[in-house]
């Protein structure tokens, strides 16, 4: 009977009634309408989406609701009848964000590409290139065009802003009368992925747009810029706000407090900051009077954030932990520990003394489940890639040469690639500086550093391309590579010549190393008889030996005996008889 009662009421009362309703999209595809005044669920919108709802937006007339989902569709709901008014396909991939134009006649939708829809015809009015990843925020920055000479049709000449996950650039787009320009006209650069964006809408021509961007690293960046056309360079923040603890009460080091959200107040000069714990956030109003580029607010939130539980309401007993015990919580990959209570040994001894106890206590069972990390070793003794990434970050932050040598001297391409992929983005530039320094040293270490450089450039190219001061950051590396490439041609020529020389020397050595046939006489007989007689007899002996070479063994023995007798008779000059002697041997 809820919708019927609403229909009878006046339009003004209807709007008032709807102001307290909160629309909540669910992971299963339904939308819940929750009344904040009554504190109860008012109605449920079903049958629109098959997959999780990514974004829900109220229309200006407040009885119409738009939603988008992972099922690639956009649905227009009538919240009075709780039924689907219209449903159409919004993208080829999941639609992640929606935004309604100031006049309520157009709708922006975004997955990765951004589309502007005409809500009457449900047709695409304009296309924009969008982002490489899924868009997480869309909002109009102006309500009137800057150029007031042309008649305003409600949408042409307006600017809107978009941000995406894993993207450090917020893009500003301009809606033109023609369809030529599809790219962003300007962009704002921040330190990490934007998680919350708020802005003051520019209503007058010369009024600058104020932008507050909260990043995943807990910082708040403030921008102030007049939107007046194309701007090539990414704009850096006018000021950055961080919150930290004072560092008193035994802990001397101040700790950063993450900012969760920020919103401009109606006066456009002060901000509402939400910071601390997501379970108990602290909301504070801060006036922006200073012009400093970096502001750090000191807030003591330790007492405020301590979660108190009533002992009477819970049966769970919390263990008493000594003050000197340090418990590591999940944080950077690779840091994990098994929490063991120091008093467990004594309690085990006590439990053993109890007579008649056969079953082990729960504490003993839990103790038995603790895995000794020192016994678990990876094959080859090398640490896993997640600990390599942690070691690399520690080495870069502490500038520890021993840790850096251990990590950077690895030769396995797979480990290098995984380490670079898992390291945090803020460590990429320090790693490049370290690699540049090492490239100037020993040629052997330089060959190892090239593998790291290749992995860094292939895996973090998108991050490096967003840095505004990339060229001065990598200037030394560019010069080093250019100087080495210049000498490459000369070195290759020298290498070719040296290769020819070395091969020739090696070939000549091989020829010299072949053992020569020893041609010196083994026996020498000298006699006074004439040379002619001796030479004739030598020729006869030569003939005999040559003819008898290929004959049977018996004939060979006979010829040997004949030769011996001939030689004994002759006793001639032996200058010309080395061959006969070798044959006889």
Mean pLDDT of 464-473: 84
d(CA 573, CA 538): 9
Q: Is the pLDDT of residue 449 over 60?
A: yes
Q: Is the pLDDT of residue 391 over 90?
A: no
Least confident piece of the model among 76-80, 136-140, 178-182, 243-247: 178-182
Name the pTM for this structure.
0.51
d(CA 527, CA 572): 6
d(CA 173, CA 165): 18
* Contact partners, residue 74, CB within 8 Å, separation at least 6: 66, 67, 68, 87, 88, 89, 90, 95, 98, 107, 109, 117
Q: Is the pLDDT of residue 70 over 90?
A: yes
- pLDDT of res. 242: 92
- pLDDT of res. 6: 39
Q: Taking a C-beta distance cutoff of 8 angstroms, is the pair 180, 194 a contact?
A: no
d(CA 266, CA 283): 16
Tens digit of each residue's pLDDT (9 = 90 or more) over 246-281: 876 665 788 889 999 999 998 888 999 999 888 889
Q: How many CB atoms lie within 10 A of CB 348?
A: 14
- pLDDT of res. 100: 93
Mean pLDDT of 376-402: 71
DSSP character at residue 254? -
- pLDDT of res. 565: 56
Report the percentage of the chain scoring pLDDT > 90: 29
d(CA 346, CA 353): 11
Tens digit of each residue's pLDDT (9 = 90 or more) over 105-138: 899 999 989 999 999 999 999 999 999 999 999 9
Q: Is the pLDDT of residue 581 over 60?
A: no
Mean pLDDT of 167-187: 87
d(CA 139, CA 146): 17
Task: Please spell the DSSP secondary structure of 177-211, one letter per residue.
Answer: SSS---S-SEEEE-SS-EEEEEEEPB-STTPPEEE
- pLDDT of res. 223: 92
Give kind and range of the element (H or E) at residue 283: strand 281-287
- pLDDT of res. 496: 93
Domain ranges of the chain: 388-485
Q: Is the pLDDT of residue 80 over 90?
A: no
Max mean pLDDT among 10-14, 205-209, 436-440, 490-494 falls in 490-494
Q: Is the pLDDT of residue 473 over 60?
A: yes
DSSP E strands in 445-545: the ranges are none
Mean pLDDT of 503-508: 90
Backbone angles phi, psi at 244, to 5 degrees: -140, 160
User: Which residue is associated with the tokens 């070719």?
Assistant: 496
DSSP E strands in 10-49: the ranges are 21-25, 31-35, 40-45
Q: Is the pLDDT of residue 27 over 90?
A: yes
Q: Confidence class of residue 497 from pLDDT cuts 50, 70 and 90?
A: very high
Output the CA torsion sign for 568, 572, 576, 578: positive
Task: Please spell the DSSP secondary structure of 105-144, one letter per residue.
Answer: SEEEEESSSEEEEETTTTEEEEEE---SS-EEEEEE-BSS
* Contact partners, residue 201, CB within 8 Å, separation at least 6: 140, 141, 142, 143, 209
Specify which residues 241 forms β-bridges with. Answer: 220, 295
Q: Is the pLDDT of residue 578 over 60?
A: no
Q: Confidence class of residue 494 from pLDDT cuts 50, 70 and 90?
A: very high
Backbone angles phi, psi at 541, to 5 degrees: -60, -40
Output the CA torsion sign for 568, 573, 576, 578: positive
Q: Residue 178 corresponds to which tokens in the numbers above?
A: 């023609």
Q: Is the pLDDT of residue 293 over 60?
A: yes
Residue of higher predicted confidence among 373 and 205: 205
- pLDDT of res. 360: 67
Question: 407: exposed, middle or buried (C-beta count within 10 Å: 0-12, 13-18, 19+)?
Answer: buried
Mean pLDDT of 433-437: 87
Backbone angles phi, psi at 350, to 5 degrees: -60, -40
d(CA 208, CA 188): 14
d(CA 295, CA 215): 15
Q: Confidence class of residue 398 from pLDDT cuts 50, 70 and 90?
A: confident
Q: Residue 503 corresponds to which tokens in the numbers above?
A: 């091969």
d(CA 55, CA 66): 8
User: Which residue is associated with the tokens 């967003």?
Assistant: 466
Q: Confidence class of residue 76 from pLDDT cuts 50, 70 and 90?
A: very high
Closest of 132, 228, 126 to residue 172, by C-alpha? 228
- pLDDT of res. 553: 54
- pLDDT of res. 570: 52
- pLDDT of res. 509: 84
Backbone angles phi, psi at 363, to 5 degrees: -65, -40
Q: Confidence class of residue 532 from pLDDT cuts 50, 70 and 90?
A: low
Q: Residue 107 corresponds to which tokens in the numbers above?
A: 């709708």
Q: HSE-up of 577 (CA within 13 Å, CB side)?
A: 27
Residue of higher predicted confidence among 567 and 180: 180
Q: Give residue 228's Cα distance to chain centre.
A: 35
Q: Residues in the chain, how many?
A: 585
d(CA 241, CA 247): 18
In whole numbers, what is the pLDDT of the chain averaged over residues? Answer: 78
Helix or strand or coil: residue 88?
Answer: strand
């Amino acid at each position: 009977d809820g919708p019927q009662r609403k229909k009878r009421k006046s339009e003004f009362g209807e709007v008032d009634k709807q102001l307290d309703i909160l629309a909540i999209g669910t992971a299963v595809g339904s939308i819940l309408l929750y009344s904040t005044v009554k504190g109860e669920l008012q109605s449920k919108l079903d049958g629109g989406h098959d997959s999780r709802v990514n974004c829900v937006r109220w229309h200006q007339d407040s009885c119409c609701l738009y939603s988008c989902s992972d099922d690639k569709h956009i649905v227009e709901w009538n919240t009075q009848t709780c039924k689907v008014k219209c449903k159409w396909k919004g993208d080829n991939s999941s639609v992640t964000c929606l935004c309604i134009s100031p006049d309520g006649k157009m709708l922006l939708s975004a997955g990765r590409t951004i589309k502007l829809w005409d809500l009457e015809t449900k047709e695409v009015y304009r296309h924009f290139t969008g982002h490489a990843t899924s868009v997480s925020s869309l909002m109009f920055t102006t309500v009137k065009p800057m150029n007031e000479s042309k008649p305003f049709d409600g949408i042409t000449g307006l600017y809107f802003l978009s941000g995406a996950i894993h993207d450090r650039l917020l893009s500003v787009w301009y809606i033109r009368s023609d369809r030529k320009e599809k790219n962003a006209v300007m962009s704002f650069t921040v330190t990490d992925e934007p998680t919350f964006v708020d802005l003051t809408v520019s209503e007058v021509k010369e009024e600058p747009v104020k932008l507050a961007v909260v990043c995943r690293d807990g910082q708040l960046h403030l921008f102030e810029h007049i939107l007046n056309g194309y701007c090539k360079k990414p704009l850096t923040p006018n000021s950055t706000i961080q919150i930290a603890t004072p560092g008193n009460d035994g802990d001397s080091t101040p700790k950063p407090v993450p900012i969760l959200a920020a919103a401009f107040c109606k006066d456009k000069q002060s901000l509402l900051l939400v910071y601390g714990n997501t379970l108990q956030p602290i909301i504070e109003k801060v006036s922006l009077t200073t012009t400093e580029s970096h502001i750090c607010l000191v807030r003591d939130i330790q007492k405020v954030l301590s979660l108190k539980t009533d002992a009477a309401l819970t049966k769970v007993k919390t263990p008493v932990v000594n003050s000197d015990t340090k418990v590591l919580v999940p944080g950077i990959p690779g840091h994990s520990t098994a929490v063991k209570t120091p008093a467990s040994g004594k309690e085990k001894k006590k439990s053993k003394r109890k007579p008649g106890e056969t079953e082990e206590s729960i504490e003993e069972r839990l103790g038995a489940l603790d895995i000794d990390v020192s016994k678990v070793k990876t094959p080859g003794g090398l640490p896993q890639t997640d600990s390599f990434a942690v070691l690399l970050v520690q080495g870069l932050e502490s500038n520890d040469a021993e840790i850096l040598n251990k990590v950077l001297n690895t030769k396995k391409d797979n480990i290098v690639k995984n380490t670079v992929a898992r390291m945090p983005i803020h460590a990429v530039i320090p790693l490049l500086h370290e690699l540049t320094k090492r490239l100037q040293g020993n040629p052997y270490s330089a060959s190892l550093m090239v593998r790291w450089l290749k992995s860094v450039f292939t895996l973090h190219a998108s991050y490096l391309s967003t840095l505004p001061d990339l060229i001065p950051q990598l200037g030394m590396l560019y010069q080093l590579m250019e100087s080495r490439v210049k000498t490459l041609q000369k070195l290759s020529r020298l290498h070719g010549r040296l290769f020819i020389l070395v091969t020739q020397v090696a070939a000549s050595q091989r020829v010299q190393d072949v053992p020569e046939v020893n041609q010196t006489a083994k026996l020498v007989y000298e006699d006074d008889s004439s040379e002619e007689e001796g030479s004739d007899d030598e020729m006869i002996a030569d003939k005999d030996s040559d003819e008898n070479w290929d004959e049977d063994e018996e004939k060979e023995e006979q010829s040997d005996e004949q030769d011996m007798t001939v030689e004994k008779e002759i006793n001639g000059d032996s200058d010309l008889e080395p061959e006969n002697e070798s044959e006889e041997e």
